[in-house]
A and B are shown apart, each in its own frame.
Chain A
Amino acid sequence: MDQLTRRKFLAGASMGAAAVAAGPWVIRAGAQGGAVKIGVVLPYTGVYAVLGESITQAMELVFARENWTVAGRKIEMIKEDDEMKPPVGIRKTEKLIDSDKVDILTGPVHSGILMGMRDKVHNSKTILIVSNAGADAISRERCSKWIFRTSFSNWQPNQPMGGWVAKNVSKEAFLVAPNYQAGKDMMEAFKETYLPAGGKVVAEDYPKLGETDYAPYLTKIRQSGVKAVYCFFSGTDAVNFVKQFDQFGLKQSVKLTGAGFLTEPDVLPAQGKSAIGVITGHFYTPLLENPTNQKFVKDFREKNLGKMPDGFACQGYDTAEVIVRALKAVNGNTQDKDKLVQAIAKVEFDSPRGRFRFDPKTHNVIQPFIYVREVREVYGGLNNVPIDKIADVKDPGTGCTLPA
C-alpha cells in the first residue's frame, strides 16, 4: 500500500511537471490547431434554395478534395439558412460573427441581405467572401477592405453585351427588366456600351418582380417593330417571359438577348424548347473546354447524381478555392486578419471560368471572360453554347478607395 502510494505520487508529480513544461506550447497549439470556422449564409429553403444548394455543393467538393483540412487545421462549415429574407439573413450573420466567432464568412444570394450585413461585417472586421449577390455598390461606394466577391457585380455580365448586341444583332433594341434596383442597374450597364456603339433604345419597360402575365409587354414589343430585345430576368420570371415570348410568335422576327441568368440551368428545363436561340452574356457555362472546368464538371456530376454545374456552382467552387489557397499562404493563421486579407487579395488560380484573380482596387473578381452564349440543343439536352467572348471584364469601381 505504502509503496503503491509513493509510486502514484511520483507518477503524478512527473506528469504535472511535464504539463507545466509543455504548457505554453500546448496553449499555442490549441489556437492554431482548432478548426477553421467558415460561416455560410445562403438560402436553403424556398424558391432560391436551388442556388444555395449549387453554391454549397461546389464548396464541399473543393473542401472534400482537401480532406477537409488546410495547413493542419480542420475545415468546419457552419451553414445558416437566410430564407432570402434580409432580417433573417442579418440575424444569422450576427449569430455567426458574435456567437460562433467564424474566421471567414461567405454568402449571400440576395443583394438586400448583402447590403444589410455590410456594416456589421465591416465594423467587426470579419472577412466576407461574397459568393453570389451582385449589388454594384459593394464594389463601389460601399466597398470594404474586409469584403471580397468571387461571383460578379451586376454590371459585369451586362456591360460587354451592349457593344456585342449593337455589332452582331441590331442597332435598335427594346429593354425589359423587373422593376427593382438590380433590374435597372443591369439595363444601365447595357446602355453604357450599346449607345456609344450606335445602338438606339426604342423603349424600356419594367414589369413588376414576380409578374406572371407578360402579354401586354410582348404586344408592345411586336408593335414597336424592333429586331432585338435585351432583358434581365431570373427564376420564375425568366421561365414565364421566355415561354410567353415564344408563344406570341416573336422568336421568328425578334432576337431575344439578355444577362446570363435568363437561361441558367435552374430555369432552362422549365423553359424547354422556347429557350432555343436565346443569347445571353455570362462568366460561365459548363461547356467551357479548359481542363479545370472539364475536371470540375466531371467531379461535380459524380458527387451530385449527374447534376450539371451552373454559374452558381462555379461561384461556390471559386469561393472555396480562394479560402483554401489563402489559408495555405498564411499557414493556417487566422489570428492576423490583415495578413489573411492580403493573402486573399493575392490569390490567383485556374478556375473553371478561366484565370481567377481579384481586382486590388475593389476586391471584386475580374471576370476572365464574359462568354456570349446561345441556347442550343446539343449533347442530349439544352445547353448554353459559347459563341463569342469578351476578355478581362473589370467593374469600374467608381467611388471605391481601398483600403477603407
Chain B
Amino acid sequence: MPFLLDLFAQALNGLSYGVLLFLLSVGLTLIFGMLDVVNLAHGSFYMLGAYAGLTLIGVTNNFWLALAVAPVAVGVIGVLIERGCLRPLYRRGPLDQVLLTFGLIYLFEDLVKWIWGGKIRSIPPPDLFAGSVTLWGATVPSYRLFVIVFGLAMAVALWLLIERTRLGAIIRAGVFDAEMAAGLGINIQRVFTGVFAFGAALAGLSGVIAGPIQSAQPPMGATILIPALIVVVVGGLGSLKGSLVGSLIIGQAETFGKVWLPGASMLMIYVVMAAIVLLRPHGLFGRPLK
C-alpha cells in the first residue's frame, strides 16, 4: 500500500509539472503549425509574462488580475514582433527566422534586466491556494491542484476553439495550406498575426502561472526553452493533441526519473524523446513535413 501511495503522490507531481509544460509549449506548437516558424523567443514571452505579472501584482496586489492582464500585454508585444520583424522574413529560409528569434532572446533578456534588474524575484501564490491539501494520503500544494485543473480546462477550451469554431476552421485551413486558404479569400496575414499574438499570450500566461512555483530571473526564458522544444518534438510539430500528450509524458518521465533513477534523472527526458522519435519520426501526432 505505501508503494501505491508513493506512486500516486509522485504521479500527481508529474501531472502538475506536465500541465505546466503544456501551457508553456502549446503556444510554441501553434505558432509552428501555422506560421512554420520555430520561435526560439517563446521562452522570452514566458519571461515577459512572469515579469509583467510581478509588476501587476506589486501594483494591484491581485494575482487573478495579473493572470488576466499580463498575457494580453505579452500578446500585444507578439503583434509588434510579428508585424515588425517576422513578416519580412516569411519568404526567406527558416535559418533567417531562427537567427531573428534567437537574437530576440538576448534583446528581451537585456530589456528585462534594464527595467526590472537582475535580482531573483518571485510571485507569491494567491491566498486562496497558499496552503496544501491531502488527497487520499498524498499531500499536494493546493496551488498545484489549481494548476492541474486550470491547465486541463485550457486544453479543452483550446480544443473547442480549434475544432468547433469558424475561427478554428480558418486556423486549421491555414495550417494545412496557407496559400490555398488565402486563395479562398481568407486574410491569411491577419490570421498569422492573430495566431502569433495568441501563442505569445499563452507563453505569457504560463509565465504568471509558473511564478508562484518557480522564481523569476532574466535567464529563465532561455532555460525553459529546451523542455518546451522537447515537448513539441515528442508530441509532433503543430499538433495541439500532441502538445498535451507530449507534456504529460515528459512530466511523468521527468518526475519518475528523479524518484527511481536520481543519478540519471537528467537523461530521462532525452531518452524518452529519442525513443519516441525513433518509433515515430514525426512525433506522436505530427504530420510528415511538407
* A residues at B contact (CB < 8 Å): 46-47, 49-50, 205-208, 210, 212-213, 215-217, 219-220, 222-223, 235-236, 239-240, 243-244, 247-249, 266-267, 269-272
Contacts and interface: CB of A to CB of B under 8 A. Distances in A.
7 contacts: A210-B223, A213-B17, A220-B259, A223-B2, A236-B214, A249-B131, A272-B122
Nearest to A273: B124
B132 A249 contact: yes
Question: Lowest 9 CB-CB distances: which A-B pairs, in order?
Answer: A249-B132, A247-B141, A215-B13, A270-B122, A239-B215, A216-B258, A270-B120, A219-B9, A236-B215
B262 A243 contact: no
A271 to B, nearest CB: 7
A216 B253 CA distance: 11
Given A208-B266, A236-B215, A215 B144 contact: yes
B213 A244 contact: yes
A215 B265 CA distance: 14
B13 to A, nearest CB: 4
Contacts of A205: 262
Interface of B: 2, 5-6, 9-10, 13-14, 16-17, 118-122, 124-125, 131-132, 138-141, 143-144, 212-215, 217-219, 223-224, 254-256, 258-259, 262-263, 265-266
Contacts of B125: 247
A235 B120 contact: yes
B254 A213 contact: yes
A287 to B, nearest CB: 21
B98 to A, nearest CB: 24
Contact of A236 (B16, B120, B138, B263): B120
A236 B121 CA distance: 9
B122 A239 contact: yes
A82 B143 CA distance: 39
Contacts of B120: 235-236, 239, 266-267, 270
B213 A216 contact: no
A249 B141 contact: yes
Contacts of A222: 139
A206 to B, nearest CB: 7
Contact of A240 (B13, B14, B215): B215
A267 B215 CA distance: 10
A6 to B, nearest CB: 68
Nearest to A215: B13
Contacts of A236: 120, 214-215, 217
A213 B14 CA distance: 10
B10 A216 contact: yes
A242 to B, nearest CB: 10
A212 B263 CA distance: 17
A207 B197 CA distance: 36
Contacts of B9: 219, 223
Which of A49, A219, A244 neighbours the largest number of chain B CB atoms within 10 Å of its CB?
Answer: A219
B218 to A, nearest CB: 8
B143 A247 contact: yes
Contacts of B266: 208
Given A215-B144, A223-B9, A243 B122 contact: yes
A210 B26 CA distance: 23
Contact of B215 (A50, A208, A243, A248): A243
B118 A47 contact: yes
Contacts of A244: 141, 213
Contact of B118 (A50, A216, A223, A248): A50
A248 B144 CA distance: 10
Nearest to B137: A223
A270 B121 contact: yes
Contact of B6 (A213, A223, A249, A271): A223
Contacts of B265: 207-208
A304 B5 CA distance: 52
Nearest to A209: B266
Contact of A248 (B10, B132, B224, B263): B132
A244 B213 CA distance: 7
Given A216-B10, A219-B10, A223-B6, A248 B122 contact: no
B213 A243 contact: yes
A243 B118 CA distance: 20
Contacts of A240: 213-215
Nearest to A216: B258
Given A47-B219, A248-B141, A266 B16 contact: no
B201 to A, nearest CB: 22
B17 to A, nearest CB: 5
A216 B7 CA distance: 11
Contacts of A220: 259
Contacts of A208: 265-266
Nearest to A239: B215
A212 B131 CA distance: 19
Nearest to B21: A213
Contacts of A219: 6, 9-10, 13, 138-139, 259
A293 B240 CA distance: 59
B215 A270 contact: yes
B118 to A, nearest CB: 5
A213 B213 contact: yes
B10 A272 contact: no
A219 to B, nearest CB: 5
A212 B120 CA distance: 13
Q: Which of A205, A235, A249 has the most CB of B within 10 A?
A: A249
Contacts of A247: 125, 132, 141, 143-144, 212-213
A350 to B, nearest CB: 31
B20 to A, nearest CB: 8
Contacts of A223: 2, 5-6, 9
A49 B109 CA distance: 14
